[in-house]
Structure 1
Amino acid sequence: MASINTAFKALCLSLLFVTVSSSPATEPKVFDVQSYGAKGDVTADDANAFTNAWRDACAWKGRSKVYVPKGAFYLGGVTFAGPCNCQTYFVIDGVLLAPTNNDDIKKETWVNFAYINYLTISGSGTIDGQGKESWPFNNCNKNDNCPRLAVSMGFDFVNNSRIEGITSLNSKAGHFNFYFVDNFTIAGVNITAPGDSPNTDGIKVGFSSNINISNTHIGTGDDCIAILSGNTNLFIYNVTCGPGHGISVGSLGKNKDEKNVEGLTVRNTVFTGTSDGIRIKTSESSATEIAISNFLYENIQMIDVQSPINIDQQYCPYPQCKKKGDSHVQIQNVTLNNIWGSSMNKEANRVFWLREEDENTKFFHALTKQRRARNKIT
C-alpha cells in the first residue's frame, strides 16, 4: 500500500510539474456536469450526466474537478468509483436533491464514493436527502420488517481525502457514513435534520483510522457522531452538537466480528439540548470480547443536556431486546477533564466502578439515573 501511494504521489507531482512548465495555468481540469447534459430543472434525473463527468475527471491524467454549479439537480442513487489517475476535486455549489420516495434510490447510499485516494469535496452547496416522507417508515424500534432507508453520502475505502464547507439537509437515514477510510478530514460542514427525525445520524464511522472532524455543526434526530467498531485515532474538536443524541461510541459487542476502538479525543465541543453528551454504549451478553481504550474528553460544555455523561454497559434500546447478562466489552483509560454546564436532570450522571486491575486499566460501568423516556433512543 505504501509503495502504491508513493507512486501515486510521484505521478501527480510529475504531471503538475509538466503543467506548470508548459502553461501558466495550474488549476485542475474542470468537468462541469452541465456540459454533460445535467438539466438542473428538478424534473429529470441527472445521475447519468454526473457519472459521465466523474468518469472523465477520474481518468484525466492530472488534477481534475467535477463541478456542480448553482441550481437544483435531481439525482437517483449514484456511485462515484475509483481508482482515479490523480487528485480529484468534487465541488458542489448547487443543490443535490434525492428522490422523495426511498425506493427510487435503489441503493443503500444515495451518493457514494468508493476506492479513491486524494479526493476533496467542497463548495457552498447542499445535499438534500428530502427525508421527511420517509421518516414515518423508520420505525425499527417497533417493526422488525422496517425498510432500510438510504444514507445521504457514503465513503468506502477512500483515503487521504477531505470534505469541507457543504451542507447536508434532511437525510432519510444517516447523513455521512465512513467505512474502511484512512486519513480523512471533515471540516466546516453543516449537518441538519429535525430533532424528531429518526435514525438520522450525522457522521457514522466504522473500521476507519486517522479521522479528523472539526469546526462542524451537527443537529439531527440521532447521534451527532456515531463511532462504531474497528476505529483508531479519531480527533473531534470545535464541534457543536444539538439537537441529537450526543457523540456516541457504540453500541458495541452485539456482533462477533467487531473490533477494538482505540484512541479518541474530543475537545472544545458544545452540546446543546441533546439527550446525551458523552455516551458509550455496550450490549449485554456481548457476542465478542473487545476493548474501548485511550479516550480523552476535554473542555466540553453541556447546555441543558439530559444525560451529560452516559456510559451504559447494559444497552438495550428496543423492548424486544432480552437482557441476559453483563457486557464483555472492556472500557480502559478514559479521561474526562474540564467538563461543565447544565443538565436537564437533577443528577447529571452516576458512575459505578466495577473493578480495578492496575493503575492504568480501569473497567467501569456508569448509568444515568433517569429512565429513557422515549423508544427513539438508538
Structure 2
Amino acid sequence: MVCIAYAFKTLCLCLFFIVVASRPTVKTKVFNVQRHGSKPDGKTDNANAFTSVWSRACARRSGRSKIYVPKGTFYLGGVEFVGPCKNPIEFVIDGTLLASANPSDIKQDTWINFRYINDLSISGFGTLDGQGKKSWPLNDCNKNSNCPKLAMTMGFAFVNNSNIKDITSLNSKMGHFNFFSVHHFNITGVTITAPGDSPNTDGIKMGSCSNIRISNTNIGTGDDCIAILSGTTNLDISNVKCGPGHGISVGSLGKNKDEKDVKDLTVRDIVFNGTSDGIRIKTWESSASKILVSNFVYENIQMIDVEKPINIDQKYCPHPPCEHAQKGESHVQIQDLKLKNIYGTSKNKVAVNLQCSKSFPCKNVKLIDINLKHNGLKGGPSIAMCENVDGSASGKMVPKHCLN
C-alpha cells in the first residue's frame, strides 16, 4: 500500500513538472522605434512615433515590453510618456535623442517626461542632447521678469520602483534630470555634462522623494551637481565625481510655505573637483516655513581646490539686496549632522563655514577627522567660522574647529 501511495505521488510530481515545462514562455516584446516609423536623420520630429510606440508597449498585458532606440540621431520634440502601464517597461537608448536648439520649440517644462509609472528601467549607452547653448544667454530671470521658460531635459513624476543606468545627458537647457514624488529609484553609471558657466543646469534635482540611490555617476554642470529639495528622505549618494558645479546642495529651503522636512541623507566616497561648493546646506533667512533638516552623514569626501568645501548658509540670498533685516532669522532647524574624513584643498581661507540661525541654532554637529588645507592665492592657513552651532570635534582637525 505504501509503495502504491509513493508511486502515485511520484507520478503526480512528474505530471506537474511536465505541465510547467510545457507552458509557453512569455518573452519580452521588443519595440524598435526605427521599425515603427522613427527616422534617425536628426531632422524629422519623432515625437508622435515615440509616443505611439510607448502606448503599444504600455498597454501590453503579458510579459515585459522593451522600447529600443538604436544608434543614430533621433530628433525629438517635447514628449510625455504616461502610465500606468500593464507591465514593466524597459527603455533602452543606444542612439542620440536630439532636442531643438530653439528653446521656444519645446512648449512644456520638461523635454522628455515620464509620469505615473511603476517598474520603469531606462538604460543604454546613448545620449540625451539638450542643445542648450542658445538657451543659456536667455536664463536671466533674476533680473528679467519676462525671461522665457526653459525646459529641463528629462523628468520623472510619480514614478516608483524604477531605475536609470549608463545614459549620458549633454548640454541641458535648464536642469538635466528632475524628480518629483519619486520613490525607490536607482541612478547608476550616469554621465551629466554641461559647461561650468551654463546657468541653472543642475545635474540631478529632487523634491518630495524617498529611497533614492545615486552611485558611480559623473556630474559636471553650471549649477548644483545634485540639488535636494523639500520633502526628500532616505537618500544615499555614493561614488560620485562632481565638477564643475556648485556641489551637493540641500536647499534652498524655507522660502515657501508648506515645505516638508529633509532627513536621512548619506553622502559618501565623493570627489569634488574645482567646484564652488562641496558639502552645502542653504536656507533662506526670511523663511516662510518651519521645517527640520536632520540625520545627515557625510563621509570619505575629497575636496580638490573647492572654494567652499563645507558650507552651511542659513542666510542664503543669491541676488542681493535681500530683506533679512525686516523678516528675521531662518526657521529651518538643522540637527544631527556627522562629517567624517573630509580632506583636500580649499581655494578659500574659510574652509569650514557653519553659519546657522540665531533663532534655531544647529544642534549636534559632529566633526571627525577634518583635513582641509588652504590652497588659494592669499597665504595663510585655512580657518573655520561658526555662528550659532552646538556640536563636538574629534580626531585630526585642520582647520581648528570653532564649535561650542
C-alpha displacement of 1:257:
1.8
The one-letter amino acid of 1:136's match is P
Name 1:373's counterpart in structure 2. Answer: none
Query: How far apart in 2 are the matches of 1:139 and 1:302?
Result: 30
C-alpha displacement of 1:112:
0.2
Name 1:351's counterpart in structure 2. Answer: 354
The one-letter amino acid of 1:303's match is I
Greater CA deviation, 322-331 or 276-285? Answer: 322-331
Q: Summarize the alignment of residues 172-211 of structure 1 with structure 2, pairs less than 5 Å apart.
A: 172-211=173-212
C-alpha displacement of 1:60:
1.0
Measured against aligned partners, the alpha-carbon deviations of 1:278-307 in whole angstroms (never above 9, x if no partner) come to 000000121010010000000000000000
Question: Do the aligned partners of residues 365 and 237 (structure 1) sit closer, same or farther apart at CA in structure 2, a change above 3 Å counting?
Answer: farther
Greater radius of gyration (CA): 2
CA contact (8 A) 2:357 2:388 kept: no
Name 1:374's counterpart in structure 2. Answer: none
C-alpha displacement of 1:351:
3.1
Greater CA deviation, 239-248 or 30-39? Answer: 30-39
CA contact (8 A) 2:313 2:355 kept: no
Name 1:112's counterpart in structure 2. Answer: 113
Instruction: State the TM-score, normalized to the length of structure 2.
Output: 0.82
Report how many aligned residue pairs link the two structures: 349
C-alpha displacement of 1:59:
0.7
Name 2:60's counterpart in structure 1. Answer: 60
Query: How far apart in 1 are the matches of 2:362 and 2:167?
Result: 44
Query: How far apart in 1 are the matches of 2:80 and 2:271?
Result: 34
The one-letter amino acid of 1:183's match is H
For structure 1, list consecutive stretches of 5 or more residues without a partner in the other structure. 1-17, 368-378
Q: Percent identity?
A: 65
Structure with the greater relative contact order (CA < 8 A, sep ≥ 6): 1 or 2? 1
CA contact (8 A) 1:312 1:365 kept: no
Query: How far apart in 2 are the matches of 1:321 and 1:172?
Result: 28
Three-state SS of the structure 1 residue aligned to 2:351 is coil
Q: Does 1:32 align with 2:18?
A: no
Three-state SS of the structure 2 residue aligned to 1:348 is strand
Question: Do the aligned partners of residues 262 and 23 (structure 1) sit closer, same or farther apart at CA in structure 2, a change above 3 Å counting?
Answer: same
Question: Do the aligned partners of residues 23 and 122 (structure 1) sit closer, same or farther apart at CA in structure 2, a change above 3 Å counting?
Answer: same
Aligned with residue 342 of structure 1, among 340, 345, 349: 345
Name 1:246's counterpart in structure 2. Answer: 247
C-alpha displacement of 1:350:
3.2
Instruction: State the TM-score, normalized to the length of structure 1.
Output: 0.88
Query: How far apart in 2 are the matches of 1:20 and 1:318?
Result: 68
Three-state SS of the structure 1 residue aligned to 2:179 is strand
For structure 2, list consecutive stretches of 5 or more residues without a partner in the other structure. 1-18, 367-385, 390-404
Measured against aligned partners, the alpha-carbon deviations of 1:55-110 in whole angstroms (never above 9, x if no partner) come to 11111122000110000000100000000111110000000000111111110000
Q: Summarize the alignment of residues 40-55 of structure 1 with structure 2, pairs less than 5 Å apart.
A: 40-55=40-55
The one-letter amino acid of 2:181's match is F
Measured against aligned partners, the alpha-carbon deviations of 1:190-222 in whole angstroms (never above 9, x if no partner) come to 000000000000000100000000000000000
Name 1:271's counterpart in structure 2. Answer: 272
Instruction: Give RMSD over aligned pairs.
Output: 2.3
CA contact (8 A) 1:195 1:220 kept: yes
Name 1:304's counterpart in structure 2. Answer: 305
Shift >6 Å, 4+ stretches: 353-360
